[in-house]
Structure 1
């Protein structure tokens, strides 16, 4: 029954005119395409918004990090200022060296009160300050209750402050004030060292309220349900909006699910289900104090702005579908017959009959299309032939160029040089040679890329010349001068090596005394020029002409590296680029490479 039904539909479809077939086909294709496009667009926009939220969360935590860094540095600076204050140091020296009576103690405490009053609120963000003597006894000064300070500063912490000497931060604790109130604070302790005697005089302690730390991220909250946590090295909560969570262990199972804090990378974002709500969780590490900053943002707040975009996409999709419906009908009606004829011709051409041409005998657009198609096929045939010849020449040149540039004997000779250095106990030279060799081949291979930056080409040549100078120190010196602005422009890989090799072996090495190789790179208008100059034996005009204009068969293999560079540059960039050789026999040779100024 099903087969009969299918055959009936097939028969009806065959009886439909080609115009209607094209119309139906376009409607189906456009409907499916628009549906897929709409779904993909919605999906991509959601993904883009989430990625944007992740980046924003990372940037937000980075800003918090910077603000927290400024706050901690300011607090530490206040601790250093307090510990080096002259009046404080004089009083502590007096206490350390003498047993004071009660009147003298009162005078000391009065002076210390005056000193710390400049450091605490309202002059700074420090809520209070304490001074501990060298005998670990707190002076009865300031707002802090000494008993609550003693409970935090045990012997182990005091020893740590004395040993480290730089400011030491404690974890969060409750500080009781003399007037009865309690606050969550961080203590910043700094050992006081006598500037004149170098003796330990005591410890300066400053207190920073947790609310000062919290104000940093509270000012950055965008959404109402955003939440921030700051954790200490033991993953205890030391700052958050909900103060009831302070001193509690961070609930990894609730906020991270299957993930663990120690396994999360810096600035990494996770999407976690928290109490049934998909939430973006981002972690940033504050390395200075070994703290962790965590932000949680509900996903419904992130994607809420995408709902309007989704509606707009659907409206546009429906409008496009209606337009496509009308356009498909008109298009199928207008071009059905001649287009099918053109399709038939194209199918035959696709089968390999490239000599076939369209013949519509019409002066309308379809006739113009046929003429254009015929012209295009003629041009394609010519281009195919041209591309085939150019590719063949290019592959031959690149193959020969590779042979001339990365010659096995260079590797063998360098390895033999390294062995010789080792035998002569010139280990430093051997190490440097191996380093230069590795650098040369690392860049010359360059992950298979044929085009690299001039900066990489310069480093490659520098490695090559460094090896050659170790081998032929009696023949050559070299100098490299490249303008900074051209270093990011592109150059075919190993363009300069054959030119440098030619200068060494056929210029400088044939000279009786020591010679110099100078390579300069600069930009002029919209072109980059690189000059390879040597004061060797020079090249005759006939030889220059032979190098640049003779075929690979006529050139020797040593000359072909240079001519291959010229051919390769002309193939890649055009006839106006390539090499120019200037030389006077017995005096110098200068090879100039001309390239387009194109950034990689």
Structure 2
């Protein structure tokens, strides 16, 4: 037992040492990686900003007023010359104000021997500066130019007429703004940043740098200043980590240094407390594990296992109750819940089936032959006049009422329902031959044999006749079409009725979902029947037709039907 205890203590000590070293390296790597990411992001942002400034600079080469001053100055009057200078200076001021890294924007126009600046207006051209700011041939990247310890971005337009029309646009870099931006990396005391222009050996220190740390001190230990390099230096007995990132576009190197002692500060007190918490925590964990395993884990596993059996559909689960604690109360509640759920499922399922059948029969019973009276009067008139269409009309009427009064089955193939609707339209055509036009598509072969409820299409067409023919003086048009995709079959009935208001359309649509309304007829009747059989996502939808009347879309899912 003593040996086992000593081995356990030794393992804890080794684990503590490992965790301490791991924490130390993790903190160091996180700080260094974070520093590398920050300087990399800043350099990328600086590259983007310089590139944006150069784009504005190149775009200014084509400035209308700059071209006038450089090429047409000899034929311009004094007013045009002054106005062009003013307009050009306004553009330079706009470029100047677009970035905090710009100290000044100037245009040197050789033909008029003038320099127009965003800060000093118009002045005589400085030929020495003009010659020094011209970018050497073949230089790539940002093409930064150094003149009198300042950095510039320049671009030259030679002109088609030679040297006489040359002009140069310069952007002076604001080194003070760069120093302030570099100062944001001084998140630790005695840390700092240097931005080094490798082309011109210009060193820009960050604002707030430790004056005791110089660039020469950082590089005295043969530190390689390369992109992504993490080096190590020693200054006045103090260990310092140096992170360097290079921009090939700017040919600049961003150097950030952090004292080692700042990196290890967060983990100094951790070393002592690590051992204390390790020992105490291990003891608590062992005791807590034993206690919770017997008090909670085992009873909880039994309860979870019973719930999983219920999820799989087994409602005959029963948990024995042996203790009078919280789990004993839960076990009793679980057993009672399973019994009640089982009884309710059986009761609700049966009641729902009976209610659906009763409501379906009630809805179907409300459909009656609306044409009976008008058709009998029409037959009487045709018989008195000796109309030759009497036989055909009575045949259609007989087929119509035979279908309506047939109760052999509540469902029938879709093509029979469509033929019944077509019979109805033929009857209406004979009643109103001069006032009615019917466009009736054929039933798609893919769904002609699916089983559907009786009388779901003809009442929709009857509603269309009511508003397209009986309530309008113009010629009525009724269109019946079919649309089939992978998810649903849509039967669309449209008319050109002119008496449908937006208020009526909204009020009828609301009645579709008003379950408190017991009286149902027409479109509401069909909508409720379809939803009962095929589900709530099916049924009727109303909108205004492109012909001006009502467009009714009957949607049903053949896969969810009978």
Q: Same fold (TM over 0.5)?
A: no
TM-score, L = length of structure 1: 0.41
Higher RCO, 1 vs 2 (CA within 8 Å, ≥6 residues apart): 1
User: Greater CA radius of gyration, 1 or 2?
Assistant: 2
